[in-house]
Chain A
Amino acid sequence: MILDSKIPEGNLAEKWDKHKFNVKLVNPANKRKYDIIVVGTGLAGASAAATFGELGYNVKAFCFQDSPRRAHSIAAQGGINAAKNYQNDGDSIFRLFYDTIKGGDYRAREANVYRLAQVSVDIIDQCVAQGVPFAREYGGLLANRSFGGAQVSRTFYARGQTGQQLLLGAYSALNRQIAYGKVKMYPRTEMLDLVMVDGKARGIVVRNLITGKIESHSAHAVVLATGGYGNVFFLSTNAMGSNATAAWRAHKKGALFANPCYTQIHPTCIPVSGGYQSKLTLMSESLRNDGRVWVPKTVELAQRLRKGEITVNDIKEEDRDYYLERKYPAFGNLVPRDVASRNAKLVCDEGRGVGGSGLAVYLDFADAIKREGQPAIAAKYGNLFEMYAKITDENPYERPMRIYPAVHYTMGGLWVDYNLMTNIPGLYATGECNFSDHGANRLGASALMQGLADGYFVIPYTIGDYLAKTPYDKVGTDHPAFKEAEAAVIAKNNQLLGINGTRTVDDFHKALGQIMWDYCGMARNAEGLRFAKQEIRKLRDEFWRDVKVVGVNEELNITLEKANRVADFLELGELMVDDALHRNESCGGHFREEYQTPENEALRDDENFAYVAAWEFTGVGNDPVLHKEELQFENVKLTQRSYK
Chain B
Amino acid sequence: MDLTLKVWRQKDKDAAGSMVTYPVKGISPDMSFLEMLDVLNEDILRRGEDPIAFDHDCREGICGMCSLFINGRAHGPERGTTTCQLHMRHFNDGDTITIEPWRAAAFPVHKDLVVDRSAFDRIQQAGGYVSVNTGGVPDANAIPIPKSIADKAFDAATCIQCGACVAACKNASAMLFVSAKVSQLAMLPQGKAERKTRAENMVAQMDIEGFGACTNIGSCAAECPVGISLENIAMLRREYISATATSENLA
Contact = CB atoms under 8 A, between A and B. Distances in A.
Interface residues of A, number: 80
B28 to A, nearest CB: 6
Contact of B30 (A86, A282, A393): A393
Contact of B87 (A50, A135, A390): A390
Contacts of A126: 132, 134-135, 137
Interface string B16-56: 00000000000011111011001100100110111101011
Contacts of A141: 141, 144
Contact of B65 (A66, A172, A456): A66
Contacts of B246: none
Contact of A65 (B57, B157, B185): B57
B241 interface: no
B110 A210 contact: yes
Interface stretch (A273-281, A318-326, A343-351, A475-483): A273-281
Given A70-B57, A550-B50, A178 B125 contact: yes
Interface string B145-160: 1110011011001101
A133 B184 contact: yes
B142 to A, nearest CB: 8
A550 B130 contact: no
B110 A556 contact: yes
Interface stretch (A6-14, A157-165, A300-308, A622-630): A157-165
B150 A135 contact: yes
Contacts of A136: 144-147, 150-151
Which of A122, A140, A460, A551 has its CB near the most chain B CB atoms (within 10 A)? A140
Interface string A66-83: 111110101100000000
Contacts of A164: 62, 158, 160
B45 to A, nearest CB: 5
Interface in A132-156: 133-142
B121 A239 contact: no
Interface in A390-419: 390-393
Interface string A269-289: 000011011110110000000
A555 interface: yes
Contacts of A241: 57
A559 interface: yes
A115 B81 CA distance: 41
Interface in A250-302: 273-274, 276-279, 281-282
Contact of B118 (A67, A168, A277, A457): A67
B140 interface: yes
B35 A86 contact: no
Contacts of A140: 144-147, 150
Interface string B71-88: 000000000010001010
Given A124-B140, A133-B153, A164-B62, 6 more contacts: A47-B134, A75-B60, A126-B135, A139-B144, A279-B59, A391-B87
19 contacts: A66-B55, A67-B161, A69-B161, A70-B64, A70-B65, A128-B190, A129-B132, A133-B188, A140-B145, A141-B144, A161-B158, A172-B130, A278-B34, A390-B81, A457-B134, A550-B48, A550-B49, A551-B50, A559-B45
Interface of A: 47, 50-51, 54, 65-70, 72, 74-75, 84, 86, 122, 124-131, 133-142, 158-159, 161, 164-165, 168, 171-173, 175-176, 178-179, 185, 187, 210, 239-241, 273-274, 276-279, 281-282, 387, 390-393, 456-457, 460, 502, 504, 506-507, 548, 550-551, 555-556, 558-559
Interface of B: 11-12, 28-32, 34-35, 38-39, 42, 45-46, 48-51, 53, 55-65, 81, 85, 87, 89, 110-111, 114, 116-118, 120-121, 124-126, 128-135, 137-141, 143-147, 150-151, 153-154, 157-158, 160-161, 184-185, 188, 190-191
